[in-house]
Amino acid sequence: MTTTAVAHETLSTAQAINRALHDAMTEDPTVLVLGEDVGPLGGVFRVTDGLTAKFGEDRCFDTPLAEAGIAGFAVGLAMNGMRPVIEMQFDAFAYPAFEQVVSHIAKMRNRTRGRVELPLVIRVPYAGGIGGVEHHCDSSEAYYAHTPGLHVVAPSNPSDAYSLLREAIASPDPVVFLEPKKLYWAKGDVALGGDREPGIGTAVVRRQGTDATLIAYGPAVPVAMEAAEEAAREGRSLQVVDLRSIVPFDDATVCAAVESTGRAVVVAEAAGFASVASEIAARVSERCFHSLSAPVRRVTGFDIPYPPPKLEHLQLPSVDRILDAVDDLQWEDA
């Protein structure tokens, strides 16, 4: 991989995503941004701010308010030489598009024996923690991750948001790009530019630790980092793995991490039953069994419809809940 001088800037996640769209559109005239309110308004989270003004209405534009239509329309655009990036305004408003996503976007390459590729990105403002009212805060990753043919990524910081989105737009495969809403305003250092190490399909160790491994992705990563910080004050060394990419899943990095500590807790906002967290726990148990000193624990949302804002704090994995799970990992000194 070639490396060019990389510029660094401090940006929020929303700004980093905006910059990724901007830079991809600058480099490739076939990149189109479309969805509900993404035009002059710049999106309800302002993620597409300024793109219509800069690139014109042919490149960044509002569509009718119809998610299946948006997804199906993007299939046709992608079939015919474009790289559409579509926005589903909120995670729980994306369900009308589900048939297009499952039956066409995910399967087109396979059903046509690789002849028709769909280089498109589905951006989904995702998960909770913003006090959203009903139908604005679902963690819908399991639906997408369960659908063969899709890549599913969830950045946990502005720099990954930028680089993973650039990679997603350049990918010949469809990517579901989950943007943790509560991190839209979180700022961080962002490495800009088009050349980078692959991020899709690779997990990273965010914090070194020797006693137990926390495995998280997207909005749960900052909470896991905080829990590790707190644990360190209590004398326990926790390692944190940030998946970044749910599909493809990086078994190698996750297993190496868990094997190095012998204990694991999976942290995710989504309801736990039949979830991505469950899949991770199962994979780790199958692959790292002989290195494990305790059963793999999951700290997830409860199996309930997403709660109203005033009860949301009880649903989201918290530092205390993570540390309680860590305490449960059959410590010899306990």
Partner 1 sequence: MTSDVDRMLPSKTPVMLLGPDGRPSAAGSAHLPADDELLRGFAGMVTARRFNDQASALVRQGRLAVYPSSHGQEACQVAAAQVLDREDWLFPTYRDTAAVVARGGDPVEVLGLLKGDWHSGYDPYELRIGPLTTPLATQLPHAVGVAHAARLRGERTVVLAMCGDGATSEGDFHEALNFAAVFHAPVVFFVQNNQYAISVPLARQSVAPSLAHKGVGYGIPGEQVDGNDLAALLDVLSGAVARARAGEGPQLVEGRTYRIQAHTNADDATRYRADDEVTAWAAKDPLVRLEAYLRAEGILDDARAAAFTEAAEEVARRTRDGMNRDVEPDPDDLFRFVYSRPTPQLVEQLAVVHDELSRTESEAHR
Q: Which residues are catalytic?
A: 136
**Nearer of residues 110 and 293 to partner 1, judged by Cβ:** 110
**Nearer of residues 72 and 193 to partner 1, judged by Cβ:** 72
**Does 96 interact with partner 1 (rule: CB under 8 A)?**
yes
Q: Number of residues interacting with partner 1: please give it, by CB under 8 A.
A: 48
Instruction: Report CA-CA distances (Å) from 194 to 56, 126, 160, 200.
Output: 22, 25, 13, 14
Instruction: Candidates 6, 53, 66, 304: give the one binding partner 1 (CB under 8 A).
Output: 66
Interaction pattern, residues 154-183, with partner 1; x per rule: CB under 8 A: -----------------xxx----------
Q: How many helices (H) and strands (E) in the chain?
A: 12, 14
Q: How far is the CB of 248 from partner 1 (least distance, A)?
A: 4
- Cα gap 227→54, rounded to integer Å: 42
**Does 330 interact with partner 1 (rule: CB under 8 A)?**
no
Q: Torsions phi, psi of 252, nearest 5?
A: -65, -50
Question: What is the DSSP annotation of 29-61?
Answer: TTEEEEESS-STT--TTSTTTTHHHHH-TTTEE
Q: Torsions phi, psi of 278, nearest 5?
A: -65, -40
Q: Which stretch binds partner 1 (CB under 8 A): 38-46, 68-76, 266-274, 301-309?
A: 68-76
Residue 295: asked if its preceding bond is cis (omega within 30°), the reply is: no
Tally Cβ neighbours within 10 Å of residue 206: 20
Instruction: Candidates 26, 27, 76, 308: give the one binding partner 1 (CB under 8 A).
Output: 76
Q: Which stretch binds partner 1 (CB under 8 A): 2-10, 18-26, 248-256, 258-266?
A: 248-256
Q: How far is the CB of 200 from partner 1 (least distance, A)?
A: 10
Instruction: Candidates 6, 41, 53, 252: give the one binding partner 1 (CB under 8 A).
Output: 252
Residues 109-128 that bind partner 1 (CB under 8 A): 109-117
Interaction pattern, residues 130-149, with partner 1; x per rule: CB under 8 A: ------------------xx
- Cα gap 283→255, rounded to integer Å: 9
- Cα gap 110→107, rounded to integer Å: 5
**Using CA atoms in the order 166, 179, 12, 50, what is the torsion angle rounded to 10 degrees?**
70
| Interaction site with partner 1 (CB under 8 A) | 58, 63-64, 66, 68-69, 71-82, 84, 96, 99-100, 103-104, 107-117, 148-149, 151, 171-173, 201, 247-252
